[in-house]
Structure 1
Amino acid sequence: MKPTHARTVLAGIAGGLAMNIVMLLTFRLLGFGSNGDGILLDASTQSKKLIAVWTEIEPIPLVVDSPAPIIVGIVIFGIIHAYLFRWLSETWPKGIVNRGLRFGGLVFVMTFLFWEFFTPFNLFGEPLHLIALELLFWGLIALSDGLAISVLMHKRASDTAIDSDN
């Protein structure tokens, strides 16, 4: 039995909020720093082109200058992810963690791995060690999305086990 649309939307909102929170903790606090002094903006190691895009070239990215539309957009992506989870997960092994990790991995590969390859690596010439750090951040973001959605999408007793061998 598929979860209701209300449960799916609620799970998507939770996934989107989880992504926003983990993005704040990783990219904003560690990557860019509270005053632009984070590791991803360190001029001694970062591509000058990438620094300019984030800090100098107008218009400054919305996520920096006016983050509300990006925050809302990520929640909308979370709802889309929940519907994808609902569609795909019925054929996956049971268990909140099993399904959450699988879906988080799918989101990571299909979205974030592609993004890092195509944009920071391809367009900005970002150094590989910083791309690796960003991939770690994106991995945490994708896992938070997958796990939040998985937790809220499971309602049957057989599906609520943390891990299941079934």
Structure 2
Amino acid sequence: MQSLRPLEDTKIVCQPIALFGQAFALSCALWQRVRCQTHLRRAIRIGAPPLKNPHHGISCQEEHITYAKLSRAALGGAVAIVMSNIVSNILFFQLGRPLLFENEAQSAKVVAVLFEMEPLPLMFTNGPLYMAIAALIGVIHGLVFYWIEPALPRGIVARGLAFGAILWALMALYFEFHTPFNMFGEPVALVAVELVFWIAVVAVQGLVLSIIYGRSRDELASPVE
């Protein structure tokens, strides 16, 4: 049976993702610096309070934090989903292969779709492309994380695990029902095993994203006088 080559594929994909993230963060920071300096000069000229942004009602410092956190969330989402895909490959296709795919109880349709029917899944035929597309989806996950982050628990670990729990409930649970069970006839016991594996996968995704994101933007923002 074929499996992904996670280390080789990740080296190919992660470097351009990291460079793009750095360029994106730098461009956001430079753009925000220009905006703040422009408003500061205008405020000084007319005698207005210098730190207040007239469009958003927040300070230049707070707006800088917002764009910095947005870029970290996007980059963190891309890196996190690549890392979680590596964990998924190890759990499902290496450690779990004897139980999931060499088990006589497993549905023949599952085995055929994954390993026999042409064309084979993209993750087997073009790992770098698969990882690149996954990274783009991870950016969207990162932006969702940024959006709901103030409502998540405080603390990097608790926040990451909470986001992982959301991913498990909204993504993994329905996927396992709709595809392996509904479409491929996978036995319930094996679906349950895969759901346990998914807990580890989404926990890694949430933790890596939370670590890269860093401190909450609410903790970093200072009140405007």
- Specify the TM-score bucket, using the shorter chain as the normaliser: 0.7 to 0.9
Letter in 1 for 2:197: F
Q: 1:3 to 1:128 in 2, by over 3 A?
A: farther
- Residue 74 of structure 2 corresponds to residue 9 of structure 1: yes
Identity across the alignment (%)? 35
Which consecutive unaligned segments of at least 5 residues does structure 1 have? 33-37, 160-166
Distance 1:120 1:156 in 2: 37
**Aligned match for 1:27, one of 92, 99, 104:** 92
- Secondary structure (helix, strand or coil) at the match of 2:186 reads coil
Structure with bigger helix share is: 2
- Residue 131 of structure 2 corresponds to residue 71 of structure 1: yes
Distance 1:91 1:156 in 2: 10
1:154 corresponds to which residue?
Answer: 214
- Residue 204 of structure 2 corresponds to residue 144 of structure 1: yes
1:62 corresponds to which residue?
Answer: 122
1:18 corresponds to which residue?
Answer: 83
Letter in 2 for 1:2: T
Query: Which structure has the larger Rg over C-alpha atoms?
Result: 2
Q: In the TM superposition, what whole-angstrom CA distance separates every residue of 1:54-87 from its partner, at most 9, and x where no partner exists?
A: 1221111111222222211222222111111110
Which consecutive unaligned segments of at least 5 residues does structure 2 have? 1-64, 220-225
Superposition CA RMSD, Å:
2.1
Task: Give the conservation status (yes or no) of the 8 Å contact 2:66–2:217.
Answer: no
Task: Give the conservation status (yes or no) of the 8 Å contact 1:15–1:79.
Answer: no
Letter in 2 for 1:144: V
1:86 corresponds to which residue?
Answer: 146
2:32 corresponds to which residue?
Answer: none
1:109 corresponds to which residue?
Answer: 169
Letter in 1 for 2:189: H
Q: 1:99 to 1:9 in 2, by over 3 A?
A: same
Q: CA deviation at 1:140?
A: 1.0
Of the two structures, which has the highest relative contact order with CA contacts closer than 8 Å and spacing of 6 or more? 1
Q: CA deviation at 1:40?
A: 1.6
**TM-score of the superposed pair, with normalisation by structure 2:** 0.63
